[in-house]
Chain A
Amino acid sequence: MIGSVLAALVIGGAVAAFAIAWRPAIAAIDPPVPQSFDAALVKRGRDLAAIGNCNDCHTVRGGKDFAGGLPVPTPFGTIFSSNITPDAETGIGRWPEAAFRRAMRSGVNRDGQHLYPTFPYDHFTNVTDEDDRALYAYLMTRQPVRAPARANQLPFPLDQRVVIAGWKLLFLRRGTYQPDSMKGAEWNRGAYLVEGLAHCGSCHTPRNVLGAERASAQFAGGDVDNWHAYAINAQSPAPIPWDADALFAYLSDGWHPDHGVARGPMAQVVSNLSSAPESDIRAIATYMAGVFGAPTPDRKRRAEAVLAQAKSPSVQASEANAVGASIYAAACATCHGTERPLPYGGVNLGLSTALSGPDPRNATNIVLSGVRPVEGERSPIMPGFATSMNDDQISALLNYLRVRFSNQPAWPGIAKTIADARRTQTLFLQTSAGPRNAPADATQRDKP
């Protein structure tokens, strides 16, 4: 009796697991000819792909667009992005639109295999059929590139894709975005983009031990590629509170006089957004301004004091940290300590979120590597100091900057942060072609 109950349970369990995990393959098609797609649809797909930042993960630095192969480091192992060019053998050339939509909606490829959630379908599930159709049209009209998938480096059992079905059961909330009728059209458009295609939370929301975004801490700050993605909610450490206008300018231009220049992984994001429709950037800014929330009167007062100090810096009397002060004076203040406005001068460091934030990695990365010029483009630059300063000197500088330019306590463990940053940035320094900006020429934007 017990035996047969157990057997029934095991069989039932297996059937249930199979039902949860198994997805059918979708029949392959002959790659559609590019001319079969409507040009206006392709153009819309191009704008959406810019908002989705697709090329960032699906392109290796210096490689062919959308051909995949970029290693994405995660706490679980390294996952390589896939080839989403319309190449018939190694890309998505044989995918019908239904297969593309299923991948976006529920993270399953054409063969029926589960995709790792490094592909942020927990956000893309919100994207409408209409927008998926436009994205599909855009990708299927790109240059096909033959680039076979690279094998992920994951330990057992995470290398078994069936595991992903369990993850989805726990963390994937399917369903397209439902508008909030209490809010206006622009806010809803922004919410749809931010929570969906733009997948802002993928970096800016902290993750739990299973690698899923913590819903209770949405936008409270996360990690990406050894950078800290700042909190972009009420906990934002920005010395000057963000508002919709500042967000719009920053996301369109890549910099703002009260906040500085986007760099690190955010550089590619704004580089893409700079070519997206203005109305969509405005919508994102409107929605996110609500997420940040209106600053408290106390926060406003502090911001005004910081701005006043930045505009007419008071002379610092005695310096406890002479080494840090001297390095700042000679290496930093020539740009950051003048009244020359952005983008020609550097941001006054009293306005720097990197220095006022809780995590020293961004400030460390930027001192070591600077901001590399983008080949053949207009772009912000800052020289890196990795080769001209040793760890003690960088530590002295960072401690000095933290004390002088923020009202926050010293960062703990700065020596280890510097050592880690040197290790991880070596790769960056050797390979970086930097983000590629969208066409600066506005007339180029109408081309698919």
Chain B
Amino acid sequence: MMTLKVNGQNHEINADPDTPLLYVLRDDIKLNAAKFGCGLGQCGSCTVIVDGNAVLSCVTPLLLLEGKQVTTLEGLGTIEAPAPIQRAFMEEQAAQCGYCIAGIMMRAQALLQKNPKPSDEQIRAELELHLCRCGTHMRILRAVHRAIRLMDTADASSATAGSAQ
């Protein structure tokens, strides 16, 4: 039994220490934003934020999360009050099938928290390991740039909603 802190809430988890975080998020806590794509850390669709860093939850065993804060896409905002990154992706219609988008949004969020003004080159390099098979890459890039502008102008409340630990 261990305590896992996700989106600000503590969860008592009964699972083997080598269980991937992704399985716990989806099966035990029923947070389905993070997706199972390849299960090998090669596609990025399972990306969540742990202590401010983008992490591939399919290759992150539970035992590495003792005392850490996990943030999933659900922790950033809601449909009624989307976080800047979520609003930007909706406004740019960056999702086609959407399977990869939750992971991409989380890595972009982690990047923007560390570096609020990344260059286009830095964004591309950061997102390089994410696969999108629908081909909305250009919209995804536009969405990240839009998120940069939104975060710059967002009022305090939505900025808070968009901040992951």
In the complex, A433 Cα to B50 Cα: how many Å? 24
- B19 within 8 Å of A by Cβ? yes
**Interface size for chain A: under 10, 10 to 19, 20 to 34, or 35 or more residues?**
20 to 34
A335, A372, A432 — most chain B CB neighbours (10 Å): A335
Q: Within 8 Å CB of B50, what residues of A?
A: 387-388
A329 cross-chain contacts in B, Cβ below 8 A: 18, 61
Residues of B near A383 (CB, < 8 A) are 41-42, 56, 59, 129
Asked if A373 and B129 sit within 8 Å, CB to CB, the answer is yes
With both chains docked as a complex, state the minimum distance between the C-beta of A360 and any C-beta of chain B, in angstroms. Answer: 20
Within 8 A of B (CB), among A311-327: 322-323, 325-327
**Interface digits, B104-130 against A, CB 8 Å rule (1 contact, 0 not)?**
000000000000000001001100110
Nearest A residue to B42, CB-CB: A381
- Determine which of B19, B42, B53, B125 lies in contact with A330 in the assembled complex, contact meaning CB atoms within 8 Å: B19
Given A327-B18, A330-B19, A388-B60 contact (CB < 8 Å): yes
When A329-B61, A330-B60, A331-B60 are in contact, do A388 and B55 touch as well, CB less than 8 Å? yes
Asked if B61 and A331 make an inter-chain contact with CB atoms under 8 angstroms apart, the answer reads yes
Q: Is B64 an interface residue (CB 8 A)?
A: yes
A148 lies within 8 A of chain B by Cβ: no
Of chain A, the residue at the smallest CB distance from B20 is A330
CA distance A32 to B42 in the complex (A): 48
- Interface status of A74 (Cβ within 8 A of chain B): no
Residues of B within 8 A of A235 (CB): none
B63 within 8 A of A: yes
Q: Does B8 contact A (CB under 8 A)?
A: no
- Residues of the A chain whose Cβ atoms lie less than 8 Å from the Cβ of B40: 334-335
Q: Is the CB of B128 within 8 A of A373?
A: yes
Tell me the chain B residues, 123-165 only, with Cβ under 8 Å from chain A.
124-125, 128-129
User: What does the 1/0 interface line of A367-401 toward B look like (CB < 8 Å)?
Assistant: 00000110100000111000111000100000000
One of A325, A375, A389 near B124 (C-beta < 8 A): A375
- Complex: chain B residue closest to A390, CB-CB: B64
Whether a CB of chain B sits under 8 angstroms from the CB of A13 is no
Cβ 8 A contact of A372, one of B20, B62, B128: B128
* Residues of A contacting B53 in the complex (Cβ-Cβ under 8 angstroms): 387-388
Q: Hey, what's the 0/1 contact readout for B42-66 against A, CB within 8 Å counting as 1? A: 1000000010011110111111100
Q: Is the CB of B128 within 8 A of A375?
A: yes
Flag whether A62 is at the interface (Cβ < 8 A). yes
B127 to chain A, nearest CB (A): 10
A393 touches B128 (CB 8 A): no
Q: Does B17 contact A (CB under 8 A)?
A: yes
Tell me how far the C-beta of A384 lies from the nearest C-beta in chain B, rounded to whole angstroms. 9
Chain A contacts of B59 at CB under 8 A? 330-331, 334, 383
**Which B residues from 7 to 45 make CB contacts under 8 A with A?**
16-20, 39-42
Residues of A with C-beta under 8 A to B129:
372-373, 381, 383
**Which of A325, A389, A432 meets B64, CB within 8 Å?**
A389
Interchain nearest-CB distance for A315 vs B (Å): 15
Given the contacts A373-B129, A389-B64, A326 and B124 also touching, CB distance less than 8 Å: no
**Neighbouring A residues of B124 by C-beta, 8 Å:** 375
Chain A 321-359: CB-based contact to B (< 8 A → 1; otherwise 0): 011011101110011000000000000000000000000
CA distance in complex: A251, B6 (Å): 46
- CB–CB A375/B60 < 8 A: no
B128 and A326 within 8 A (CB):
no
In the complex, the answer to whether A433 meets B41 with C-beta atoms within 8 Å is no
Which of chain A's residues has its CB closest to B19's CB?
Answer: A330
Q: Is the CB of A326 within 8 A of B125?
A: no
B100 to chain A, nearest CB (A): 15
Q: Smallest distance from the beta carbon of A268 to chain B beta carbons, Å?
A: 17
Contact call A387/B18, Cβ cutoff below 8 A: no
B117–chain A nearest beta-carbon distance, Å? 15
Q: How far is the CA of A326 from the CA of B63 in the complex (A)?
A: 8
- Give Cα A383–Cα B41 distance, bound, in whole angstroms: 6
Given contacts A326-B18, A335-B40, contact A387 B63 (CB under 8 A): no
In addition to A62-B121, A383-B41, A432-B125, 14 A-B residue pairs with Cβ atoms within 8 Å of each other are A323-B17, A325-B18, A326-B61, A327-B63, A330-B59, A330-B60, A330-B62, A334-B39, A335-B40, A335-B41, A372-B129, A381-B42, A387-B54, A393-B64
CB-CB nearest 4 A-B residue pairs? A330-B61, A387-B53, A383-B41, A326-B18
User: Please, could you name 16 A-B residue pairs with CB atoms under 8 Å apart, sorted by A?
Assistant: A325-B18, A326-B16, A327-B18, A327-B61, A330-B59, A330-B61, A372-B128, A373-B129, A375-B125, A381-B42, A387-B53, A388-B55, A388-B64, A393-B64, A432-B125, A433-B125
- Interface of A toward B, CB cutoff 8 Å: 62, 322-323, 325-327, 329-331, 334-335, 372-373, 375, 381-383, 387-389, 393, 432-433
